[in-house]
Amino acid sequence: MATGQHNFPPMHPVAGFKLGTTSAGIKTLGRSDVVIMEIAHGSSVAALFTQNAFCAAPVTLCKKHLDQHVPRYLVTNTGNANAGTGAQGIQNALRTCREMALLADVDVSSVLPFSTGVIGEPLPIDTLVAGLPSAFNDLSETGWFDAAQGILTTDTRAKGSSLQYGQDRPITITGIAKGSGMIKPNMATMLAYIATDAKIDNELLHRALRLACDKSFNRITVDSDTSTNDSVVLVATGASGVVIDEDTFESFVGHLTDIFIQLAQAIIRDGEGASKFVSVAIEGALDESEALQVAYTIAESPLVKTALSASDPNWGRILAAIGRAGIDNLDVDQVQILLNDVLIADQGARAPSYTEADGQRAMQPEDITITVRLNRGNHSATVWTTDLTYDYVRINAEYRT
Amino acid sequence: MATGQHNFPPMHPVAGFKLGTTSAGIKTLGRSDVVIMEIAHGSSVAALFTQNAFCAAPVTLCKKHLDQHVPRYLVTNTGNANAGTGAQGIQNALRTCREMALLADVDVSSVLPFSTGVIGEPLPIDTLVAGLPSAFNDLSETGWFDAAQGILTTDTRAKGSSLQYGQDRPITITGIAKGSGMIKPNMATMLAYIATDAKIDNELLHRALRLACDKSFNRITVDSDTSTNDSVVLVATGASGVVIDEDTFESFVGHLTDIFIQLAQAIIRDGEGASKFVSVAIEGALDESEALQVAYTIAESPLVKTALSASDPNWGRILAAIGRAGIDNLDVDQVQILLNDVLIADQGARAPSYTEADGQRAMQPEDITITVRLNRGNHSATVWTTDLTYDYVRINAEYRT
């Protein structure tokens, strides 16, 4: 299951950024599973990775290589996460980089490896390496859709977003992402690759990446399980010749964040077993971290999520989640809860105006917004999540076996 | 679903403690739903309640009354939690106490009210009150089994535990509990009532209650959702004449903790939709709180829980949960994971001795122990939980509608 329309948007190519995809045979025969991305010489590159202590071998190697070299090639395989694989995992990730470097005649440390799939099984490195030439030959600036498909695992849809802004000399921003389960990114997401032809130095690009991530990939949860492999890479080729400086930075980050939010929401719409797309909006908090604390407690409550799957306006479970969120000195009599635009709870109890019929009606749409007004400050935050369905259990009971 | 054998044990009566049960009609007709417990004059009583900020009206009133009076009567209704009910909820809880006080000719503040069931709907107070005389007439020292049934909601089994210890003048400890979903007690459990005929002063009794709770009800989770109504009450009637002092305290707490653990485990065995009883044992932690942090992260991971429901030794998900538990400076190469007695992960990767067949075998039993050795200290902690099944989703999608 998934929510919303499946519209893979038109993707504006980004000059200086090419993508090539192949089916190497790591996953089911015929499904694409290896993607190479080529970054033009002179680009800036910023990346963020999972905070999971058991980070995957490719994540470890990415961090090391980023310290040594501006990346020229990104190599992604699906079907195997190369996580929980110890020293052999590092060797396999390094061999991926070596073979890619040989093929493209670049330095080993200018290759970044990425893996996604099952955790704890050895990477079929020979199969992967055998697929590299075919993906390399496929490199093209119009390869976005194929690449978006090539990085999927339990996802049911390719996820992409693209925009251009600016009058005379427009800037292009285009990106793809994958992710469906084990989704609660922590400073990054499952896998996302975004490229722009803006010219922007490394330090500004890193700032832009952090700002955009904090409002997008760091605001989603399917199942509260932070992955071992989360990675997001932002490439600025500079091919448009338009320079981003302190003056134009805010506008750039705004557009970048739009793309990031669309990709993050696409992950939630394709969340494992999802039948609802749920926005949890907290208002009137003392600070943003408090708002997020309440939002995530609601968004990750199995009882709230199962009620959502049944379109049941069981707001008592939302109230119970707020109550256990660990907020100091919460005055429960000030709390208001809305389902879409229906006020259901006021002053810590059922709103006098509320009727069960109104609640039922509010729960029918596929897109639901749960708004909680704490009424104790001026900060707010929104988190996006899914419901918890039979299908989530089925997918995760069956996956791997 | 539920796990283990359903053995409601023989219950030793506790002199000075009586229980009466009736069907007032709050729940389905014919199911018992109101329980009165009578505490002999001169008893000591200790209680702990939920830390949920949205604590239910009866919890608020219990705390107030405990400050004023040693309780003589406990009145419990199921079918409605009287939580998220605002000022009217407090009025209804108070009326329960008033009617009980009138019936038994005691002070209003010597009555404690308890409610469990759906959150956010008005308590059908007239129905409840009409049932009190019948429950009052039913009071007897042998009423434990009927009472254990009378406090159930989505539970499929009555839960009780009883023991006697000591040679010449034995002490009796007997208790009942309820709980199946919205289970992650925080300093208490859903509802549990334990009585002993030991003679023990209030201060010592409180210490005993905290110690026993910390090793039992505060070590279980079904779905990480802390309830609004958790309450545990420990009554010491003193009828045995055996005095508990500092010298005999440790032995008393040991036996009390046995009863508490049996009740807490019974809640997990009857967890909503449970097909597995899972012990998550963390060893080699720097301190107990670190051990609990890792244990709960595993025990509450939807991905670990769905793998358990499929008897799939998907240990990569356990590893990913450990990695996101937020432990400072975790050396992942030191971590070992065992499923029952099978070593599956060693030095942060699959153990050389591990075979998939061994893993499959280890996952077959209904009772599974996940042992994680952090190998960085001398502290350990065990948490008990369930798997996440279709039935959990079904029960919680259907409940209330």
**Residue A243 has which token pair?**
């320079």
Cβ-count burial of A145 within 10 angstroms (0-12 exposed, 13-18 middle, 19+ buried)? middle
**C-beta of residue A256 within 8 angstroms of C-beta of residue A216:** no
**Residue A313 has which token pair?**
């306006």
Chain length of chain A: 401
Residues in chain B within 8 Å Cβ distance of A397? 306-307, 309-310, 312
Chain A: closest CA distance from residue B300 (Å): 9
Q: Given an 8 Å threshold on Cβ–Cβ distance, is A83 in contact with B333?
A: no
Q: Would you give the distance in Å from CA A224 to the centre of its chain? A: 13
Residues in chain A within 8 Å Cβ distance of B306? 392-393, 396-397
**Region B252-265: what's the mean pLDDT?**
91
Q: Are strands B349-350 and B342-346 parallel, antiparallel or unpaired?
A: antiparallel
Q: How confident is the model at residue A401 (pLDDT cuts 50, 70, 90)?
A: very low
Q: Is the pLDDT of residue B54 over 50?
A: yes
Helix or strand holding residue B133 (H, E): helix B125-137
Q: What is the pLDDT of residue B401?
A: 43
Query: Catalytic: which of B22, B189, B257, B389?
Result: B189
What percent of chain B is modeled with pLDDT above 90? 66
Give ∠ CA B236-B240-B243 in degrees, rounded to 5.
70
Q: Given an 8 Å threshold on Cβ–Cβ distance, is B345 in contact with A120?
A: yes
To the nearest 10°, report the CA torsion of A265, A271, A277, A283: -60
Residue A365 CA to residue B41 CA, distance in Å, equals 57
Residue scoring higher pLDDT (B96 or B230): B96
**C-beta of residue B274 within 8 angstroms of C-beta of residue B2:** yes
Residue A269 CA to residue A189 CA, distance in Å, equals 15
Residue from B116, B119, B315 whose CB has the most chain A CBs within 10 Å, to mutate: B119
Among candidate residues A322, A339, A324, A340, the one with its CA nearest the CA of residue A376: A322
The residue ranges of DSSP E strands in A117-187, in sequence order, are 159-165, 171-178
**C-beta of residue B330 within 8 angstroms of C-beta of residue B374:** yes
Q: Given an 8 Å threshold on Cβ–Cβ distance, is B118 in contact with A316?
A: yes
Q: Is the pLDDT of residue A286 over 90?
A: yes
Residues in chain A within 8 Å Cβ distance of B394? 390
Q: Given an 8 Å threshold on Cβ–Cβ distance, is B320 in contact with A182?
A: yes
What ipTM goes with this model?
A: 0.79
pLDDT in tens, B323-342: 989 899 998 889 999 999 99
| Residues with Cβ within 8 Å of residue B174, at least 6 apart in sequence | B11, B12, B13, B14, B144, B160, B161, B162, B163, B194, B195, B196, B259
Which residue on chain A is closest to B228 by alpha carbon? A320
Chain B: closest CA distance from residue A350 (Å): 7
Q: Given an 8 Å threshold on Cβ–Cβ distance, is A323 in contact with B54?
A: yes
The 3-state DSSP class for residue A298 equals helix
Place of tokens 């285009």: A174
pLDDT in tens, A181-211: 777 776 555 688 899 999 999 999 999 998 9
Residues in chain B within 8 Å Cβ distance of A348? 54, 84, 86
Residues in chain A within 8 Å Cβ distance of B310? 396-398, 401
End-to-end CA distance of chain B: 20
Give ∠ CA A346-A349-A355 in degrees, rounded to 5.
80
Chain A: closest CA distance from residue B161 (Å): 29
**Residue A380 has which token pair?**
């707010």
Q: Given an 8 Å threshold on Cβ–Cβ distance, is A223 in contact with B303?
A: yes
User: In which residue ranges of chain A is CATH 3.10.20.340 found?
Assistant: 277-398
Q: What is the pLDDT of residue B338?
A: 96
Q: How confident is the model at residue B247 (pLDDT cuts 50, 70, 90)?
A: very high
Q: Given an 8 Å threshold on Cβ–Cβ distance, is A322 in contact with B54?
A: yes
Give ∠ CA B171-B174-B175 in degrees, rounded to 5.
150
Q: Given an 8 Å threshold on Cβ–Cβ distance, is A119 in contact with B319?
A: yes
Residue B133 CA to residue B147 CA, distance in Å, equals 15
Residue B374 CA to residue B364 CA, distance in Å, equals 25
Residue A305 CA to residue B393 CA, distance in Å, equals 9
Query: Taking all residues of chain A, what is their mean pLDDT, rounded to a whole number?
Result: 91
User: In which residue ranges of chain A is CATH 3.60.70.12 found?
Assistant: 17-269
Which residue on chain B is closest to A229 by alpha carbon? B320
Which residue on chain B is closest to A80 by alpha carbon? B316
Residues in chain B within 8 Å Cβ distance of A54? 319-320, 322-323, 332, 348
Q: Are strands B111-116 and B73-78 parallel, antiparallel or unpaired?
A: parallel
The Cα diameter of chain A in Å comes to 72
Q: Would you give the distance in Å from CA A113 to the centre of its chain? A: 18
Q: Given an 8 Å threshold on Cβ–Cβ distance, is B89 in contact with A349?
A: yes
Q: How confident is the model at residue B400 (pLDDT cuts 50, 70, 90)?
A: low
**C-beta of residue B328 within 8 angstroms of C-beta of residue A249:** no
Q: How many CA atoms lie within 13 A of B112 on its CB side?
A: 31
Q: Given an 8 Å threshold on Cβ–Cβ distance, is A312 in contact with B400?
A: yes
Residue A304 CA to residue B215 CA, distance in Å, equals 28
Q: Would you give the distance in Å from CA B37 to the centre of its chain? A: 18
Sign of CA dihedral B65, B68, B69, B70: positive
Place of tokens 């201060």: B203
Q: SS3 letters for B112-130?
A: EEEEECCCCCCCCHHHHHH
Sign of CA dihedral B234, B235, B239, B241: positive
Q: Is the pLDDT of residue A6 over 80?
A: no
| Residues with Cβ within 8 Å of residue B253, at least 6 apart in sequence | B208, B211, B212
What percent of chain A is modeled with pLDDT above 90? 67
Q: What is the pLDDT of residue A400?
A: 60
Q: Is the pLDDT of residue B295 over 90?
A: yes
CATH number of A17-269: 3.60.70.12
Active-site residues of A, by number, are 189
Q: How many CA atoms lie within 13 A of A196 on its CB side?
A: 31
Q: What is the pLDDT of residue A222?
A: 81
**C-beta of residue B108 within 8 angstroms of C-beta of residue B101:** yes
Q: Given an 8 Å threshold on Cβ–Cβ distance, is A349 in contact with B400?
A: no
CATH class of the B277-398 domain in this structure: alpha beta
> Between A and B, how many residue pairs show a Cβ–Cβ distance under 8 A?
223
pLDDT in tens, A257-270: 999 898 888 888 88
Helix or strand holding residue A220 (H, E): strand A220-221
Q: Is the pLDDT of residue A172 over 80?
A: yes
Residue B128 CA to residue A359 CA, distance in Å, equals 27
Residues in chain A within 8 Å Cβ distance of B88? 349
Place of tokens 């970048």: A256
Chain A: closest CA distance from residue B384 (Å): 17
Q: Is the pLDDT of residue B154 over 50?
A: yes
Helix axes B302-309, B315-323, angle to 10 degrees: 160
Which residue on chain B is closest to A324 by alpha carbon? B52
Q: What is the pLDDT of residue B339?
A: 94
Q: How many CA atoms lie within 13 A of B216 on its CB side?
A: 27
Residues in chain B within 8 Å Cβ distance of A330? 53
Q: What is the DSSP letter of B218?
A: G
Indicate the residue type of B54.
Answer: F
Measure CB to CB from residue B349 to each of A84, A348, A393 and give the nearest one.
A84
Q: How confident is the model at residue B41 (pLDDT cuts 50, 70, 90)?
A: very high
Indicate the residue type of B304.
Answer: V
What percent of chain A is modeled with pLDDT above 70? 98
Residue from A49, A51, A52, A54 whose CB has the most chain B CBs within 10 Å, to mutate: A54
Neighbours of A206 (CB within 10 A): 17
Neighbours of A42 (CB within 10 A): 12
**Region A23-50: what's the mean pLDDT?**
92
Q: What is the pLDDT of residue B281?
A: 96
